[in-house]
Amino acid sequence: MICPIISSSFSSNCYLVIDEKTALVDAGIGTGVIKKIQELTEEFNADIDFLINTHCHYDHTGNDLIAKEKWDLKIAMHEDEIINESSTLAQLFNKKFEGIPIDIKLKDDDIINLGKIKLKVIHTPGHTKGGICLYCEKMKSLFSGDTIFSDGIGRTDLFGGNFNELKASVEKILELKEHSGIDKLYPGHGTIGKGEDVKKVYEMWF
């Protein structure tokens, strides 16, 4: 089961993926997001085992420490991600960087096993060095972070960004769509999309 928490503010979208174990894909920023996450865990009687950060930007990780204390979960992020005040962009949100305790360093093709649902890690640099997407073959679903949205791509002009790397990452996702299928696109911001949005966005931006 996928429970989206779609942001209408500076926070990222967050997603609870509930099976035998539960993963939270990005924790967002602000107490309102934490409240919504808690309401969903209570509604579905779920305890969060993993917090998987698609990348390190503060709008996706600002609630990491709160979530870790609240649910005693393990925080996962790609091993190539650079984590400091500059890379997290905390200053853009008028926040002080307080650190992110990484319990699991992810690599390309790692599998996060939640039960029947298995999330495959796809390293997609370009927005940040250690940006990732998560693919669930069973549900033909891609959690795309800020690599690609239903109507655009992530910025490449910030710390760790690289346009050519992002182009290659979106091509990687496009290849995944062609060979394995993507029915739902769950981005880090904006509306939930469909697989055909990947090709549309690629042709629009590259």
User: Hey, what domains does the chain have and what are their CATH numbers?
Assistant: 2-205 (3.60.15.10)
- Give percent above pLDDT 70 in the chain: 100
* Burial (0-12, 13-18, 19+ Cβ within 10 Å), 20: exposed
pLDDT over threshold 90, residue 97 = no
Q: What angle do CA 81, 37, 83 make, to 5 degrees?
A: 15
**According to the model, what pLDDT value does residue 8 have?**
82
> What digits encode the pLDDT tens for the residues 144-189?
999 999 999 999 999 999 999 999 999 999 999 999 999 999 999 9
Give residue for tokens 């894909």: 25
Residue range 122-147, pLDDT digits in tens? 999 999 999 999 999 999 999 999 99
Calpha distance 139→2 (Å, rounded): 10
pTM, two decimals, is 0.97
